[in-house]
Chains A and B, each alone.
Chain A
Amino acid sequence: MQVTVNVNGADHTREVEARLLLIHFLRDDLRLTGSHWGCDTSNCGACVVWLDETPVKSCTVLTVMADGRRVRTVEGLERGGVLDPVQQGFAECHGLQCGFCTPGMMLTARWLLDHYPDPSAAQIREALSGQICRCTGYENIVRSVRWAADHAAAGGADSAAEVPA
Protein backbone atom coordinates (compact mmCIF):
# COMPACT_ATOMS: atom_id res chain seq x y z
CA MET A 1 0.00 0.00 0.00
CA GLN A 2 1.04 3.59 -0.40
CA VAL A 3 2.28 5.41 2.66
CA THR A 4 3.43 8.91 3.30
CA VAL A 5 5.70 9.27 6.28
CA ASN A 6 7.20 12.56 7.35
CA VAL A 7 10.77 11.82 8.31
CA ASN A 8 12.80 14.60 9.89
CA GLY A 9 10.48 17.19 8.38
CA ALA A 10 10.28 15.84 4.82
CA ASP A 11 7.40 13.80 3.42
CA HIS A 12 8.32 10.49 1.82
CA THR A 13 5.72 8.61 -0.22
CA ARG A 14 6.45 4.99 -1.02
CA GLU A 15 4.67 1.81 -1.98
CA VAL A 16 5.35 -0.72 0.78
CA GLU A 17 4.21 -4.13 1.93
CA ALA A 18 2.24 -4.11 5.17
CA ARG A 19 4.85 -6.35 6.77
CA LEU A 20 7.73 -3.93 6.22
CA LEU A 21 9.15 -2.91 9.59
CA LEU A 22 9.74 0.79 10.13
CA ILE A 23 13.45 0.25 10.81
CA HIS A 24 13.89 -1.38 7.39
CA PHE A 25 11.87 1.35 5.69
CA LEU A 26 14.16 3.96 7.21
CA ARG A 27 17.39 2.12 6.50
CA ASP A 28 16.70 0.37 3.19
CA ASP A 29 14.09 2.52 1.44
CA LEU A 30 15.16 5.95 2.66
CA ARG A 31 18.84 5.07 3.18
CA LEU A 32 18.78 6.67 6.63
CA THR A 33 21.20 4.23 8.16
CA GLY A 34 21.75 6.16 11.38
CA SER A 35 19.05 4.13 13.09
CA HIS A 36 20.47 0.72 13.88
CA TRP A 37 18.82 -2.61 13.54
CA GLY A 38 19.85 -4.62 16.57
CA CYS A 39 18.16 -7.43 18.44
CA ASP A 40 14.97 -7.45 16.35
CA THR A 41 12.99 -8.37 19.49
CA SER A 42 12.31 -4.91 20.98
CA ASN A 43 14.81 -5.49 23.75
CA CYS A 44 17.95 -3.58 22.82
CA GLY A 45 16.71 -0.16 21.71
CA ALA A 46 19.28 0.41 18.95
CA CYS A 47 16.35 1.10 16.59
CA VAL A 48 14.67 3.78 18.70
CA VAL A 49 13.17 6.64 16.69
CA TRP A 50 10.42 9.07 17.49
CA LEU A 51 6.95 8.31 16.17
CA ASP A 52 5.16 11.63 16.38
CA GLU A 53 6.29 12.83 19.80
CA THR A 54 7.38 9.60 21.49
CA PRO A 55 10.38 7.28 21.23
CA VAL A 56 9.46 3.81 19.94
CA LYS A 57 11.38 0.69 18.99
CA SER A 58 11.11 0.76 15.22
CA CYS A 59 11.82 -2.98 14.81
CA THR A 60 8.39 -3.53 16.35
CA VAL A 61 6.45 -0.96 14.36
CA LEU A 62 5.17 -1.56 10.84
CA THR A 63 5.79 1.17 8.30
CA VAL A 64 2.07 1.30 7.57
CA MET A 65 1.50 2.26 11.21
CA ALA A 66 3.62 5.36 10.58
CA ASP A 67 1.53 6.41 7.57
CA GLY A 68 0.51 10.04 8.03
CA ARG A 69 2.73 10.39 11.09
CA ARG A 70 6.05 12.08 11.80
CA VAL A 71 9.24 10.14 12.41
CA ARG A 72 12.41 11.63 13.83
CA THR A 73 15.68 9.78 13.49
CA VAL A 74 19.19 10.54 14.64
CA GLU A 75 19.72 12.31 11.31
CA GLY A 76 17.06 14.78 12.46
CA LEU A 77 18.79 15.78 15.68
CA GLU A 78 21.18 18.34 14.26
CA ARG A 79 19.77 21.64 13.08
CA GLY A 80 21.32 23.53 10.21
CA GLY A 81 24.64 21.74 10.56
CA VAL A 82 24.79 22.31 14.31
CA LEU A 83 24.76 19.30 16.57
CA ASP A 84 22.07 18.92 19.19
CA PRO A 85 23.39 19.37 22.76
CA VAL A 86 22.78 15.65 23.28
CA GLN A 87 25.10 14.84 20.40
CA GLN A 88 27.67 17.27 21.74
CA GLY A 89 27.34 15.69 25.17
CA PHE A 90 28.08 12.23 23.78
CA ALA A 91 31.16 13.67 22.06
CA GLU A 92 32.34 15.59 25.11
CA CYS A 93 31.84 12.80 27.63
CA HIS A 94 32.92 9.84 25.55
CA GLY A 95 29.32 8.58 25.56
CA LEU A 96 30.03 6.01 22.90
CA GLN A 97 32.54 3.30 22.23
CA CYS A 98 31.41 1.15 19.31
CA GLY A 99 28.50 3.52 18.65
CA PHE A 100 25.90 0.91 17.86
CA CYS A 101 23.46 1.87 20.63
CA THR A 102 24.19 5.59 20.33
CA PRO A 103 21.45 6.78 17.93
CA GLY A 104 18.72 5.20 20.03
CA MET A 105 20.26 6.46 23.26
CA MET A 106 20.43 10.00 21.90
CA LEU A 107 16.83 10.06 20.69
CA THR A 108 15.56 8.89 24.07
CA ALA A 109 17.84 11.41 25.78
CA ARG A 110 16.45 14.22 23.61
CA TRP A 111 12.90 13.20 24.58
CA LEU A 112 13.84 13.06 28.25
CA LEU A 113 15.40 16.53 28.22
CA ASP A 114 12.44 17.98 26.34
CA HIS A 115 10.19 16.79 29.15
CA TYR A 116 12.56 16.93 32.13
CA PRO A 117 15.22 19.57 31.43
CA ASP A 118 17.06 18.91 34.69
CA PRO A 119 16.94 15.14 35.21
CA SER A 120 18.65 13.32 38.05
CA ALA A 121 21.05 10.49 37.25
CA ALA A 122 18.32 8.09 38.40
CA GLN A 123 15.84 9.63 35.96
CA ILE A 124 18.32 9.33 33.13
CA ARG A 125 18.97 5.69 33.96
CA GLU A 126 15.25 4.95 34.16
CA ALA A 127 14.59 6.65 30.82
CA LEU A 128 17.36 4.63 29.14
CA SER A 129 16.56 1.38 30.92
CA GLY A 130 15.04 -0.17 27.82
CA GLN A 131 18.24 0.29 25.86
CA ILE A 132 21.35 -1.81 25.97
CA CYS A 133 24.97 -0.73 25.50
CA ARG A 134 26.98 -3.87 24.95
CA CYS A 135 30.18 -1.95 25.51
CA THR A 136 28.62 -1.33 28.96
CA GLY A 137 29.49 2.34 28.76
CA TYR A 138 26.51 3.39 30.83
CA GLU A 139 28.34 5.73 33.18
CA ASN A 140 29.52 7.88 30.31
CA ILE A 141 26.13 7.78 28.63
CA VAL A 142 24.52 9.14 31.80
CA ARG A 143 27.24 11.82 31.97
CA SER A 144 26.65 12.71 28.34
CA VAL A 145 22.95 13.27 28.91
CA ARG A 146 23.72 15.29 32.01
CA TRP A 147 26.20 17.37 29.98
CA ALA A 148 23.42 18.08 27.50
CA ALA A 149 21.14 19.18 30.34
CA ASP A 150 23.86 21.51 31.63
CA HIS A 151 24.46 22.92 28.15
CA ALA A 152 20.88 23.18 26.96
CA ALA A 153 21.78 26.27 24.99
CA ALA A 154 24.62 24.49 23.24
CA GLY A 155 24.35 24.39 19.49
CA GLY A 156 24.14 28.13 19.09
CA ALA A 157 26.21 29.93 16.48
CA ASP A 158 29.10 30.48 18.89
CA SER A 159 29.50 26.89 19.89
CA ALA A 160 29.16 25.55 16.38
CA ALA A 161 32.88 25.98 15.89
CA GLU A 162 33.53 23.73 18.89
CA VAL A 163 31.54 20.85 17.51
CA PRO A 164 33.91 17.95 17.07
CA ALA A 165 34.21 16.68 13.55
Chain B
Amino acid sequence: MQVPAYVEYEKATSVEHALALLARFGPEARILAGGHSLIPMMKLRLAQPETLIDINGLSELSYIRVTDGALRIGALTRHAQLLDSAEAGEHFAILQDAEKVIADPIVRNWGTIGGSLCQADPSEDLSAAFAALKAIMVIQDPDGSRTVSAREFHTGPYETVVAPGELLTEIRIVIRPGGGSAYEKVGRRVGDWPVGAAGAALWLRGDTIADAGVGLTAVGAEHFAAAEAEEFLRGAPATEASFGRAGQIAAEHCRPSSDQRGPADYKRHLSAELTIRALRRALRRARQQDA
Protein backbone atom coordinates (compact mmCIF):
# COMPACT_ATOMS: atom_id res chain seq x y z
CA MET B 1 0.00 0.00 0.00
CA GLN B 2 1.36 3.37 -1.03
CA VAL B 3 0.51 6.30 1.18
CA PRO B 4 2.16 9.69 1.40
CA ALA B 5 4.34 10.45 4.43
CA TYR B 6 2.95 12.60 7.21
CA VAL B 7 2.28 16.11 5.96
CA GLU B 8 0.73 19.31 7.29
CA TYR B 9 -2.13 20.83 5.36
CA GLU B 10 -3.40 24.35 4.81
CA LYS B 11 -6.35 25.40 2.70
CA ALA B 12 -5.77 28.67 0.85
CA THR B 13 -8.75 30.96 0.50
CA SER B 14 -7.28 33.45 -2.00
CA VAL B 15 -4.15 33.95 -4.09
CA GLU B 16 -2.87 36.40 -1.47
CA HIS B 17 -3.53 33.85 1.25
CA ALA B 18 -1.72 31.13 -0.73
CA LEU B 19 1.29 33.41 -1.15
CA ALA B 20 1.25 34.29 2.55
CA LEU B 21 1.15 30.58 3.42
CA LEU B 22 4.05 29.90 1.04
CA ALA B 23 6.03 32.65 2.76
CA ARG B 24 5.18 31.33 6.20
CA PHE B 25 5.97 27.67 5.56
CA GLY B 26 9.04 28.22 3.39
CA PRO B 27 10.66 26.07 0.72
CA GLU B 28 9.41 22.75 2.15
CA ALA B 29 5.83 23.74 1.40
CA ARG B 30 4.22 22.67 -1.87
CA ILE B 31 1.19 23.95 -3.69
CA LEU B 32 -1.48 21.27 -4.03
CA ALA B 33 -3.68 21.74 -7.09
CA GLY B 34 -5.11 18.62 -8.77
CA GLY B 35 -2.43 16.57 -7.05
CA HIS B 36 -2.24 14.11 -9.95
CA SER B 37 1.51 14.55 -10.22
CA LEU B 38 2.32 15.53 -6.64
CA ILE B 39 0.39 12.80 -4.79
CA PRO B 40 1.96 9.93 -6.79
CA MET B 41 5.37 11.54 -6.17
CA MET B 42 4.55 11.73 -2.46
CA LYS B 43 3.53 8.08 -2.36
CA LEU B 44 6.91 7.13 -3.79
CA ARG B 45 8.75 9.58 -1.47
CA LEU B 46 10.12 11.31 -4.54
CA ALA B 47 8.46 14.35 -3.02
CA GLN B 48 8.15 14.78 0.71
CA PRO B 49 6.82 18.26 1.43
CA GLU B 50 6.31 19.34 5.03
CA THR B 51 3.19 21.32 4.22
CA LEU B 52 0.62 21.19 1.45
CA ILE B 53 -1.10 24.43 0.51
CA ASP B 54 -4.35 23.46 -1.16
CA ILE B 55 -5.44 25.95 -3.82
CA ASN B 56 -8.39 23.93 -5.14
CA GLY B 57 -10.81 26.43 -3.66
CA LEU B 58 -9.35 29.36 -5.62
CA SER B 59 -11.98 29.74 -8.33
CA GLU B 60 -10.25 33.02 -9.26
CA LEU B 61 -7.50 30.88 -10.85
CA SER B 62 -9.90 28.78 -12.90
CA TYR B 63 -10.82 30.51 -16.15
CA ILE B 64 -10.31 30.54 -19.90
CA ARG B 65 -10.97 33.88 -21.54
CA VAL B 66 -9.86 36.19 -24.31
CA THR B 67 -8.99 39.71 -23.23
CA ASP B 68 -6.72 42.34 -24.79
CA GLY B 69 -5.90 40.15 -27.77
CA ALA B 70 -4.70 37.17 -25.76
CA LEU B 71 -6.10 33.86 -24.60
CA ARG B 72 -5.69 33.62 -20.84
CA ILE B 73 -5.81 30.33 -19.00
CA GLY B 74 -5.95 30.33 -15.22
CA ALA B 75 -3.41 27.97 -13.66
CA LEU B 76 -6.08 26.02 -11.77
CA THR B 77 -8.04 25.26 -14.96
CA ARG B 78 -8.60 21.51 -15.22
CA HIS B 79 -7.44 19.69 -18.34
CA ALA B 80 -11.04 18.73 -19.13
CA GLN B 81 -12.06 22.40 -19.08
CA LEU B 82 -9.38 23.33 -21.60
CA LEU B 83 -10.36 20.39 -23.80
CA ASP B 84 -14.00 21.50 -23.70
CA SER B 85 -13.31 25.19 -24.28
CA ALA B 86 -14.63 26.27 -27.67
CA GLU B 87 -12.86 29.59 -27.26
CA ALA B 88 -9.46 28.00 -26.72
CA GLY B 89 -10.02 25.58 -29.59
CA GLU B 90 -11.11 28.30 -31.97
CA HIS B 91 -7.89 30.26 -31.52
CA PHE B 92 -5.42 27.49 -30.79
CA ALA B 93 -6.54 24.07 -31.98
CA ILE B 94 -3.20 22.66 -30.81
CA LEU B 95 -4.43 22.90 -27.23
CA GLN B 96 -7.36 20.58 -27.87
CA ASP B 97 -5.22 18.23 -29.95
CA ALA B 98 -2.86 17.97 -26.98
CA GLU B 99 -5.55 17.74 -24.32
CA LYS B 100 -7.22 14.82 -26.09
CA VAL B 101 -4.09 12.76 -25.53
CA ILE B 102 -3.03 13.94 -22.08
CA ALA B 103 -3.47 11.22 -19.47
CA ASP B 104 -7.02 9.83 -19.62
CA PRO B 105 -10.48 11.39 -19.31
CA ILE B 106 -10.75 10.81 -15.55
CA VAL B 107 -7.31 12.23 -14.78
CA ARG B 108 -8.14 15.21 -16.99
CA ASN B 109 -11.17 15.94 -14.84
CA TRP B 110 -9.05 16.87 -11.87
CA GLY B 111 -5.47 17.47 -13.05
CA THR B 112 -4.69 21.12 -13.71
CA ILE B 113 -2.83 23.03 -16.41
CA GLY B 114 -0.65 24.87 -13.91
CA GLY B 115 0.10 21.66 -12.03
CA SER B 116 1.25 19.89 -15.19
CA LEU B 117 3.53 22.78 -16.09
CA CYS B 118 5.02 23.11 -12.60
CA GLN B 119 5.63 19.37 -12.39
CA ALA B 120 7.83 19.99 -15.46
CA ASP B 121 8.02 16.39 -16.57
CA PRO B 122 10.33 16.27 -19.62
CA SER B 123 7.63 14.33 -21.50
CA GLU B 124 4.76 16.67 -20.66
CA ASP B 125 2.55 17.57 -23.63
CA LEU B 126 1.38 21.11 -22.89
CA SER B 127 4.97 22.22 -22.39
CA ALA B 128 5.58 21.52 -26.09
CA ALA B 129 2.26 23.05 -27.12
CA PHE B 130 2.91 26.24 -25.18
CA ALA B 131 6.48 26.37 -26.51
CA ALA B 132 5.11 26.17 -30.06
CA LEU B 133 2.59 28.93 -29.31
CA LYS B 134 5.27 31.08 -27.63
CA ALA B 135 3.07 31.41 -24.59
CA ILE B 136 3.79 33.60 -21.62
CA MET B 137 3.65 32.38 -18.04
CA VAL B 138 2.48 34.74 -15.32
CA ILE B 139 4.09 34.12 -11.93
CA GLN B 140 2.99 35.90 -8.80
CA ASP B 141 4.69 36.63 -5.49
CA PRO B 142 3.52 38.84 -2.62
CA ASP B 143 5.00 41.93 -4.29
CA GLY B 144 3.31 41.49 -7.64
CA SER B 145 3.61 39.43 -10.79
CA ARG B 146 6.23 38.80 -13.42
CA THR B 147 6.06 37.12 -16.80
CA VAL B 148 8.43 34.66 -18.42
CA SER B 149 8.23 33.09 -21.85
CA ALA B 150 7.29 29.42 -22.04
CA ARG B 151 10.84 28.73 -23.18
CA GLU B 152 12.36 30.27 -20.09
CA PHE B 153 9.93 28.53 -17.78
CA HIS B 154 11.64 25.16 -17.50
CA THR B 155 15.17 25.07 -16.14
CA GLY B 156 15.56 21.30 -16.40
CA PRO B 157 13.69 18.07 -15.80
CA TYR B 158 11.19 18.67 -12.97
CA GLU B 159 12.55 22.20 -12.49
CA THR B 160 11.04 25.55 -13.31
CA VAL B 161 11.76 29.20 -12.64
CA VAL B 162 8.89 29.31 -10.14
CA ALA B 163 10.77 30.02 -6.91
CA PRO B 164 9.68 29.06 -3.40
CA GLY B 165 7.17 31.70 -2.39
CA GLU B 166 5.89 32.13 -5.94
CA LEU B 167 2.78 30.85 -7.68
CA LEU B 168 2.11 30.28 -11.37
CA THR B 169 -1.23 32.00 -11.94
CA GLU B 170 -1.84 32.29 -15.67
CA ILE B 171 -0.76 31.13 -19.11
CA ARG B 172 -1.22 33.77 -21.77
CA ILE B 173 -1.08 33.34 -25.53
CA VAL B 174 -1.16 36.35 -27.85
CA ILE B 175 -3.64 35.96 -30.72
CA ARG B 176 -2.04 36.90 -34.01
CA PRO B 177 -3.65 36.96 -37.48
CA GLY B 178 -3.07 34.18 -40.01
CA GLY B 179 -2.43 31.57 -37.34
CA GLY B 180 -2.98 27.81 -37.30
CA SER B 181 -1.68 25.16 -34.94
CA ALA B 182 -1.69 21.42 -34.36
CA TYR B 183 -0.27 18.69 -32.10
CA GLU B 184 0.78 15.16 -33.03
CA LYS B 185 1.66 12.50 -30.49
CA VAL B 186 2.64 8.87 -30.64
CA GLY B 187 2.00 6.96 -27.42
CA ARG B 188 1.90 3.31 -26.55
CA ARG B 189 -1.52 3.38 -24.94
CA VAL B 190 -4.10 5.73 -23.45
CA GLY B 191 -2.78 7.59 -20.45
CA ASP B 192 0.88 7.00 -21.16
CA TRP B 193 3.53 9.62 -21.69
CA PRO B 194 4.43 10.12 -25.34
CA VAL B 195 7.11 8.13 -27.12
CA GLY B 196 7.48 11.37 -29.01
CA ALA B 197 5.27 14.34 -29.80
CA ALA B 198 5.45 17.57 -31.75
CA GLY B 199 3.40 20.74 -31.79
CA ALA B 200 3.43 23.31 -34.56
CA ALA B 201 2.12 26.84 -34.89
CA LEU B 202 2.23 28.83 -38.11
CA TRP B 203 1.45 32.44 -38.78
CA LEU B 204 1.06 33.12 -42.49
CA ARG B 205 1.41 36.19 -44.62
CA GLY B 206 -0.07 35.04 -47.91
CA ASP B 207 1.79 31.86 -48.76
CA THR B 208 4.83 32.81 -46.75
CA ILE B 209 5.48 31.74 -43.17
CA ALA B 210 5.68 34.98 -41.22
CA ASP B 211 6.47 33.14 -38.00
CA ALA B 212 6.58 29.54 -36.84
CA GLY B 213 6.69 27.70 -33.56
CA VAL B 214 7.76 24.08 -33.24
CA GLY B 215 7.49 22.34 -29.88
CA LEU B 216 8.84 18.90 -29.08
CA THR B 217 8.41 16.77 -25.98
CA ALA B 218 9.89 13.52 -24.67
CA VAL B 219 12.83 13.75 -27.08
CA GLY B 220 15.26 15.90 -25.12
CA ALA B 221 14.64 19.11 -27.06
CA GLU B 222 16.03 22.16 -25.34
CA HIS B 223 13.19 24.25 -23.85
CA PHE B 224 10.67 21.86 -25.49
CA ALA B 225 11.33 23.70 -28.77
CA ALA B 226 13.01 23.17 -32.13
CA ALA B 227 14.47 26.67 -32.46
CA GLU B 228 16.62 25.83 -35.50
CA ALA B 229 13.62 24.47 -37.39
CA GLU B 230 11.64 27.61 -36.55
CA GLU B 231 14.49 29.76 -37.78
CA PHE B 232 14.50 27.86 -41.07
CA LEU B 233 10.72 28.22 -41.47
CA ARG B 234 10.57 31.93 -40.83
CA GLY B 235 10.21 33.63 -44.23
CA ALA B 236 10.08 30.31 -46.09
CA PRO B 237 7.18 29.37 -48.38
CA ALA B 238 4.47 27.30 -46.68
CA THR B 239 5.16 24.18 -48.71
CA GLU B 240 5.67 20.49 -48.19
CA ALA B 241 9.35 20.92 -49.03
CA SER B 242 9.79 23.50 -46.26
CA PHE B 243 8.03 21.24 -43.78
CA GLY B 244 10.17 18.25 -44.75
CA ARG B 245 13.34 20.20 -44.19
CA ALA B 246 12.05 21.64 -40.90
CA GLY B 247 11.26 18.14 -39.67
CA GLN B 248 14.76 17.03 -40.57
CA ILE B 249 16.29 19.97 -38.71
CA ALA B 250 14.11 19.36 -35.67
CA ALA B 251 15.24 15.72 -35.58
CA GLU B 252 18.90 16.67 -35.91
CA HIS B 253 18.80 18.99 -32.94
CA CYS B 254 16.84 16.96 -30.41
CA ARG B 255 18.56 14.59 -27.97
CA PRO B 256 16.29 11.60 -27.34
CA SER B 257 17.41 8.78 -25.12
CA SER B 258 16.52 5.12 -25.38
CA ASP B 259 14.15 3.84 -22.72
CA GLN B 260 11.21 1.48 -22.30
CA ARG B 261 9.16 3.67 -24.65
CA GLY B 262 11.52 3.21 -27.56
CA PRO B 263 15.04 3.47 -28.94
CA ALA B 264 16.62 6.87 -29.55
CA ASP B 265 16.74 6.51 -33.33
CA TYR B 266 13.01 5.78 -33.48
CA LYS B 267 12.28 8.84 -31.33
CA ARG B 268 14.45 10.92 -33.63
CA HIS B 269 12.50 9.60 -36.59
CA LEU B 270 9.26 10.51 -34.79
CA SER B 271 10.55 14.02 -34.13
CA ALA B 272 10.91 14.59 -37.87
CA GLU B 273 7.72 12.88 -38.92
CA LEU B 274 5.48 14.35 -36.22
CA THR B 275 6.89 17.84 -36.83
CA ILE B 276 5.99 17.48 -40.51
CA ARG B 277 2.49 16.19 -39.74
CA ALA B 278 1.85 18.95 -37.21
CA LEU B 279 3.06 21.62 -39.65
CA ARG B 280 0.79 20.23 -42.39
CA ARG B 281 -2.24 20.30 -40.14
CA ALA B 282 -1.36 23.73 -38.78
CA LEU B 283 -1.17 25.03 -42.34
CA ARG B 284 -4.59 23.62 -43.21
CA ARG B 285 -6.03 25.29 -40.15
CA ALA B 286 -4.31 28.61 -40.81
CA ARG B 287 -5.83 28.64 -44.30
CA GLN B 288 -9.27 27.76 -42.93
CA GLN B 289 -9.04 30.70 -40.54
CA ASP B 290 -8.27 32.94 -43.51
CA ALA B 291 -11.17 31.63 -45.55
Chain A positions within 8 Å of B1 at CB level: 40
Give complex CA distance A42, B3 in Å: 13
B260 contacts the other chain (CB 8 A) = no
Give complex CA distance A20, B6 in Å: 9
B80 contacts the other chain (CB 8 A) = yes
Chain B positions within 8 Å of A21 at CB level: 3-4, 39
Give complex CA distance A5, B49 in Å: 25
- Interchain CB contact under 8 A, A56 and B109: yes
Give complex CA distance A130, B102 in Å: 11
Count class of interface residues, chain A: 20 to 34
Chain B CB within 10 Å, residue with most, of A21, A40, A130: A130
How far, in Å, is A143 (CB) from chain B's closest CB? 20
A64 contacts the other chain (CB 8 A) = yes
- Interchain CB contact under 8 A, A130 and B190: yes
Whether A55 contacts B32 in the complex (CB less than 8 A), given A129-B191, A130-B103, comes out as no
A43 contacts the other chain (CB 8 A) = yes
Number of B interface residues, CB 8 Å? 30
How far, in Å, is B193 (CB) from chain A's closest CB? 12
**0 or 1 for each of A55-91: is its CB under 8 Å from B? (1 = yes):** 1110011101101000000000000000000000000
B105 contacts the other chain (CB 8 A) = yes
Give complex CA distance A56, B109 in Å: 7
Whether A54 contacts B80 in the complex (CB less than 8 A), given A60-B35, A65-B32, A65-B35, comes out as yes
A19 contacts the other chain (CB 8 A) = yes
Nearest A-chain residue to B100, judged by Cβ: A126
Q: For chain B residues 133-151, which have a beta carbon within 8 Å of chain A?
A: none
- Interchain CB contact under 8 A, B106 and A130: yes
Give complex CA distance A57, B42 in Å: 16
B52 contacts the other chain (CB 8 A) = yes
Give complex CA distance A62, B40 in Å: 11
How far, in Å, is A58 (CB) from chain B's closest CB? 10
B205 contacts the other chain (CB 8 A) = no
A51 contacts the other chain (CB 8 A) = yes
How far, in Å, is B9 (CB) from chain A's closest CB? 3
Q: For chain B residues 202-246, which have a beta carbon within 8 Å of chain A?
A: none
- Show the binding face of B for A, using Cβ within 8 Å: 1-9, 11, 32, 35-36, 39-40, 42-43, 52, 54, 56, 80, 103-107, 109-110, 190-191
A20-B3, A57-B36 known; 20 new pairs, CB 8 Å cut-off, are A17-B6, A18-B7, A19-B4, A19-B7, A21-B39, A41-B2, A54-B109, A55-B109, A56-B109, A57-B107, A60-B39, A60-B40, A62-B4, A62-B35, A62-B39, A64-B9, A65-B32, A65-B54, A108-B106, A130-B103
